[in-house]
Chain A
Amino acid sequence: KNEVEQSPQNLTAQEGEFITINCSYSVGISALHWLQQHPGGGIVSLFMLSSGKKKHGRLIATINIQEKHSSLHITASHPRDSAVYICAVMAGGNKLVFGAGTILRVKS
């Protein structure tokens, strides 16, 4: 079993829909990251959180430390949100352990 599990693996949404991507982890962590990777592009850090909730524009990230679970929400989704979203945890030391990613496609 992977230390970081994401769901769903693939997600297709219609423009304007509310999207949720989930991440569960099995180890103690000091921080959790949500990353975005566009096709052929580099990786951008969207959020880093260790408790509670963060919001940036249409993106919201939450984490429940007791349940070892985090969610990334996208409100009013747009085709430009189409990308791979990756959950990564900082479990021991400074290295990141990554989930397999969620491929999101938003259709217009």
Chain B
Amino acid sequence: GAGVSQSPSNKVTEKGKDVELRCDPISGHTALYWYRQSLGQGLEFLIYFQGNSAPDKSGLPSDRFSAERTGGSVSTLTIQRTQQEDSAVYLCASSLALAPEQFFGPGTRLTVL
């Protein structure tokens, strides 16, 4: 497929465990974004990558959240010591470097018990 893919599609974990969420952007898209959609709330920005660097991390809610991108392609969002309030759908999007149009992945639904 040519779209943005994310894995897993669903993740259920216990409070206190670490989780890793993966995003594969569209080939050739140098910009990559992570967003979060909590139940009953709107979408919120988490972090933005241009290539492998993250010029804007302002949306990460705490130091338990981190993200990296390697090879200018795949990105991983890691949440350490998960809390119940981390339960949400985590969405990834990608775009061409200077293009404002973003293409969204299907999301990962994270449930922290």
Contact = CB atoms under 8 A, between A and B. Distances in A.
Given A95-B45, A97-B45, A45 B56 contact: no
Tier of interface size on chain B? 20 to 34
B48 A86 contact: no
A94 B104 contact: no
Contacts of B105: 42
Interface of A: 30-31, 33, 35, 41-45, 48, 50, 86, 88, 90, 93-101
Interface of B: 31, 33, 35, 41-45, 48, 50, 55-56, 58-59, 91, 95, 100-107
B107 A42 contact: yes
Main secondary structure of the interface of A (DSSP, over half): strand
A95 B91 CA distance: 13
B54 to A, nearest CB: 11
8 contacts: A41-B106, A42-B106, A86-B42, A94-B50, A95-B58, A96-B35, A96-B45, A101-B42
A88 B43 contact: yes
A12 B103 CA distance: 28
B48 A30 contact: no
B104 A98 contact: no
